[in-house]
Structure 1
Amino acid sequence: MTKRLAMTAVCALVAANPALAQETLFQLDEIIFSAGLTEIEEDRTGVTVDVLTTEDLRYAGDIQLSNTLATVPGLSVSQNGPVGTATTVRIRGLDSDYIPVFLNGIDVTDPSSAQMGFDFGVLTGAAATRVEILRGSQGAIYGSEAIGGVVNITTDLAPEDLGTEVTISLEAGSYETYLASLGIGARFERGTLSFSATELVTEGFSAADENDGNSEEDGHQSTTLMLTGEYDATDALTLGFSAFYIDSFSEIDGFPAPAFTLADTQDEQEDERYGLRAYANFDAFGIEHEIAASGSRTERYYPGGFTEDFRGDRVTLSYLGTASVRQADTLTFGIDVTEEDFEAGADSGDVETAAVFAEYVAAFGSDFDLSTSLRYDEHSIFGGQATGRIAAAWRPAEGTVVRGSIATGFRAPSLFELYSGFFGNPDLEPEQSRSIELGIEREFGDLTLGATVFYTEIDDLIRFSGGGYNQVPGTSTTQGVELTADYMLSDAVTAFANYTYTEAEDQTGARLRRVPRHDTTLGIAGEFGPNWSGSFSLQNVADRVDPAPMDDYVLANGQIGYGITEEAEIYLRIENIFDEEYQTATGYGTSDRAFYIGLRSRF
């Protein structure tokens, strides 16, 4: 199954065509593209992967993609205020420092950021058509940083059949929020082409919590452009490309003197991100080959900061070869070279990493698959780093999958951690990790249950302390369990529940900040009558520290949609139905009860 309850939790936000989403959820043999070096059927991979499909994302209703990710088991989100402010996605208690993010194959993590993370605050869900979320150490597949997991985002709008399809979305609501999105996808005899444009404007609310006496609105404006294409030049050669551009402006709050506590300020920041990837796929000598080149740049301007200008560049060249060894076995191997550099005011630095890697996926009969992955990275500063992963999937009976994996990973210090003039430390060494997980999924007719236990440990974490970045001797751990349940009440209505328990501690036994120990989601979604659809979800987040204990909260969201024609739907979405006062980061505000009305059309 593509998405046990984890994805049903996302579908709880479906406002249109939930029957279509349910069909996707219960479709067997879903192809996973990012669990290893080559694509594989979902029930053959031994690692935990969640898939958000086009229907999940298009009708989720959330402006920010991070809000949708927060409903997935094992994931949690914290944000420093309204749309556009710094947003961190955590996987199994590990934050953005340990989660590479790819957009149409382009690594979009920021080489100029403090710890090489990706800020989800400016990323809307309007253009995405698929998101794959890997959990656990994936260093053998993705190299440095991939300790907590990996997020892969796709924006291909090309229809399945020949022709052109246009999608339009318009939305307006609370905080003077306006969103418009246009998507065009075309499929030709020998290729595809898709383009999307999204414009978001909102006056927002105070980033510093209004309940602490802050009243200044912090607004946001962003423009997002996505372009992808593929062309079959011959029967054996395919050429393709992807490109993106994200430009954003956000108002934020800071820590003014003399109190130096979070409060209303006139601070603002501007971000500009763009990237390009080109590739060629061809068959020769019984091997499928891919040659690719990609590059990205992130520019940030923060006039209120100690350093105002930041720039991070990344260029990657790669080769990947895939060969069938036996009838059902696959050998994949490759190399890549990545150059990264940054500038932050007067500070600068660069690094080059060259890697060789291979993966063998073996089928033992019809009910057991084993994959072995190895990777060696040669870092221009730290020398050689070897990582590995063994993952197995066992299908002992129809409707049952048992998964298990053991993996290692590492995180090289970021360029900012090494070379920033006041905070950098050139004596830092890479962090090292090990992870293990074991899970089972079982179908009982209309009921599907799942359970996964996980454990990750990281040696010698790098943390900001004493005025700079320093190595902290010892081992930090995150461990816990993810439980999912999904029940089809009828052909058109689904009930769901998921729960994640996470124990995340540093080397001293102190809990990691902002990681909920208990995270529970309940809900129902479906078609409740001719042309009518609706959803309701309830999420309880409990037992967090930041660094003092934080209040628990219960967040309710709901929506109702009406199909005015076969191609168009009008909907009403309500966020924070019970007007809960809560924080995901200490001192920073969150939305009060908010109403949004929108129109979606596809033709």
Structure 2
Amino acid sequence: MTKTYLSLIAALAVAAPAAAQEIRDNANAVTTQGSAGDTIVVTANRTATPIGRVGQSITVLDADIIRERQAQSVSDLLRTVPGVTIARNGGVGTSTSVFIRGAESDQTVALIDGVKLNDPSSTGGSYNFGNLLIGNIERIEVLRGPSSVIWGSQAIGGVVNLITTQPTEKLTVNARGEYGYRDTAQGVVNIAGKAGPLSASAGGGYFRTDGISAFNEDRGGTEKDGYRNYGANLNLNLAITDAISVDARGYYSNGRVGIDGFPAPTFAFGDTREYGKTRDLIGYGGLNVALFDGALRNRFGYARTDTRRRNYDPDGTPVETFAGDGDNTRLEYQGVADIMDAVQATFGVEREVSRFTSSSYGGPETVGRARIFSVYGQVSVTPVVGLTLTGGARQDDHNLFGGKTSLAGSGVYSPNGGATTLRASYSEGFKAPTLYQLQSEYGNAALTPERAKGWDAGVTQRALDGAVEASATYFHRNSRDLINFISCPAPLTGICTGRPNGTYDNVARATAEGVEVGITLRPVEPLRFQANYSWIDAENRSAGTANFGRKLVRRPSQSVNASIDYRWPFGLETGATVTSVGSSFDTANNSRKVQGYVLADIRAAVPITQQVQVYGRVENLFDEQSETIFRYGTYGRAAYVGVRLSY
């Protein structure tokens, strides 16, 4: 299998080298360039930093890549990132899990414009990427590896940071409409500009599709499970003075998706008329104050995430089968101090309160609340040209389980002005027990945080004035005190006292190690080729259990992604992406395997005028029959056409 993947990369590399792409500047310094031409990233250090000064592994999908790929959902882009795999319960809009470097899906921090998206009402506290469409997202940063010093709880696998369209100096209007497979239609619009001291960006979108059967159509599914979503985004900045400004940001998403279940009388998985509704409301307000000619930048913020979920079965009694509400509020202060030219410090204080309510089939309502107070600090030092060292610590105090300290350190060194870059990092992550695990009818108030320690090391080599760039990274992570649901047979003693239906306990351990290899070729300006290969070995290391040494569920050990894009002299843009994912196991004892698959997508776009572009794509060109989860369907060959307007 490995030889097949490597041969695929080699063949595409010979067929299609790639060109450099320009990085678009903006007022927030999110996509500007450093002095050495480095991309600026914000996720690694929670402040704008040239990527050449970052010792951790990070991938950036910028506005050009997002536009070229023409993806509908964020998860379709994330599956092309090294070390990232996804699993989805059917078509667009269904429950979608994102796994980074073999970690659990609920060990991924998801952010939109810097605000956490986790859902306190979900069992594992994770965010469902199924309801997250591209819409007006113009940049995605994926940080791989434990990152709790900066981002707190859940950052064991990594961080996915989504950045919506930012305000612009001049008035800009961008819109697109699309139609295709199974009556899929979407429309997106965004308006940005500046009037005096006020900068603004606002937009909205609508998406609908008849979809496919969540129960795999190749296994007998016949009823289509459609999806509908409408949403909006808002970003405001008011410059009161040169040193003081006020931010306000908001994001709204409302989705309805068909799902399949276990209908009577056989209660075997199959078609049902069930559906779910999810409403996400995210808001942020902040005050920015720069002191000492900008050497000390302070941010005072308030953020809230409010998620409402409902499931319905029109053929059941009661009709409402699940109701869940999760609310997360955060007060925070962050400071960034340029102590001297070679030393920068980032520090902050956070207070987060989470609440949830849930009920099933009209039963009694479960209610929970928790508070966590955090203090963190990180220092980056550049003692000599080309070398940056970063270290930090975080202390979290949870009102139920107590305190947790996290540490991290990294280094990046280039001896030749960026031609060769060596990176290494050590980092720790933790995940607080969820409200459901602590306070539901199955809850255990004695739970402690899940913990992880990981390190990675890698090298990036650039040649021929940037026309060739190759990288390789090795990583290793140990996780302990993982929380699992356990059965409680009689007699009910210890943590099982009063829990005849089971409870949660810190009983599991896991390891993950792997290699990520990438190459980018840019021989001429119009041509760009990118490819990456990931090998991940994620194992259950819970000593004394029946599944010790087994592979973790839904973690493919190998994946390959390759993409080529070419801009023709007369304006036509063409491209293709090939994604190959190896097999995985769908059960903890590895008794049931999900076969690997290869997906090929092609795309094109052509300008009609300077402001109008027509585009189209064919996904799964060869109509590959595949599953990411046993018995759940995926799309066959599908075609879409659309038009973009920009002024």
| Bin for the TM-score computed over the shorter chain | over 0.9
Matched, 1:428 2:468: no
Counterpart code for 1:591: Y
Residue 645 of structure 2 is matched in structure 1 by 601
Residue 506 of structure 1 is matched in structure 2 by 540
Matched, 1:487 2:501: no
Counterpart code for 2:342: A
- Secondary structure at the aligned position of 1:58 is classed as helix
Distance change >3 Å, CA 99–CA 469, structure 1 → 2: farther
Give the Cα separation in 1 of the matches to 2:232 and 2:21.
Answer: 26
Residue 366 of structure 2 is matched in structure 1 by 347
Residue 545 of structure 2 is matched in structure 1 by none
Deviations 1:315-344 (A, max 9, x none): 100111222222221122211100001000
Counterpart contact for 2:564–2:575, Cα < 8 Å: yes
- Secondary structure at the aligned position of 1:416 is classed as helix
Choose from 556, 565, 582 the match for 1:542: 582
Counterpart code for 2:485: F
Counterpart code for 1:257: A
Distance change >3 Å, CA 429–CA 454, structure 1 → 2: same
- Secondary structure at the aligned position of 2:267 is classed as coil
- Secondary structure at the aligned position of 1:59 is classed as helix
Matched, 1:312 2:312: no
TM-score (normalizing by structure 1) = 0.94
Shift, 1:115, TM fit: 0.5
Choose from 476, 485, 499 the match for 1:464: 485
Give the Cα separation in 1 of the matches to 2:39 and 2:404.
Answer: 33
Residue 324 of structure 1 is matched in structure 2 by 338
Residue 3 of structure 1 is matched in structure 2 by none
The number of aligned residues is 585
Deviations 1:115-168 (A, max 9, x none): 111111111112101111111010111111110001111113323xx3210011
Deviations 1:171-225 (A, max 9, x none): 0000110000011111344341001101001110100000111110001111110
Residue 264 of structure 1 is matched in structure 2 by 271
Give the Cα separation in 2 of the matches to 1:26 and 1:529.
Answer: 27
Matches within 5 A, 1:151-230: 151-159=160-168, 162-230=169-237
Counterpart code for 1:401: T
Deviations 1:16-69 (A, max 9, x none): xx9784656996221111101432111001111111111122332111111011
Residue 301 of structure 1 is matched in structure 2 by 310
Counterpart code for 1:287: L
- Secondary structure at the aligned position of 1:219 is classed as strand
**For structure 2, which runs of at least 5 residues remain unmatched after alignment?**
1-8, 13-17, 25-30, 314-318, 360-364, 488-500, 542-547
Counterpart contact for 1:96–1:117, Cα < 8 Å: yes
Counterpart contact for 2:448–2:506, Cα < 8 Å: no
Matched, 1:409 2:429: yes
Counterpart contact for 1:37–1:359, Cα < 8 Å: no
Matched, 1:138 2:157: no
Counterpart code for 2:613: E
Shift, 1:236, TM fit: 1.2
Counterpart code for 2:440: S
Counterpart code for 2:597: Y
Counterpart code for 1:152: N
Shift, 1:602, TM fit: 0.7
Give the Cα separation in 2 of the matches to 1:209 and 1:237.
Answer: 55
Q: Aligned residues: percent identity? A: 29
Counterpart code for 1:242: R
Counterpart code for 1:450: S
Counterpart contact for 1:232–1:238, Cα < 8 Å: yes
Choose from 564, 577, 584 the match for 2:628: 584
Counterpart contact for 2:410–2:424, Cα < 8 Å: yes
Residue 5 of structure 1 is matched in structure 2 by none
Distance change >3 Å, CA 592–CA 88, structure 1 → 2: same
Compute the RMSD of aligned alpha carbons: 1.9
Counterpart code for 1:535: G
Counterpart code for 1:109: N
- Secondary structure at the aligned position of 2:150 is classed as helix
Residue 560 of structure 2 is matched in structure 1 by 520
Matched, 1:29 2:50: no
Bigger drift between 561-570 and 472-481 goes to: 472-481
Counterpart contact for 2:559–2:582, Cα < 8 Å: yes
Choose from 79, 91, 95 the match for 1:86: 95
Residue 50 of structure 1 is matched in structure 2 by 59
Shift, 1:543, TM fit: 2.6
Counterpart contact for 1:489–1:495, Cα < 8 Å: no
Counterpart code for 1:269: G
- Secondary structure at the aligned position of 1:299 is classed as strand
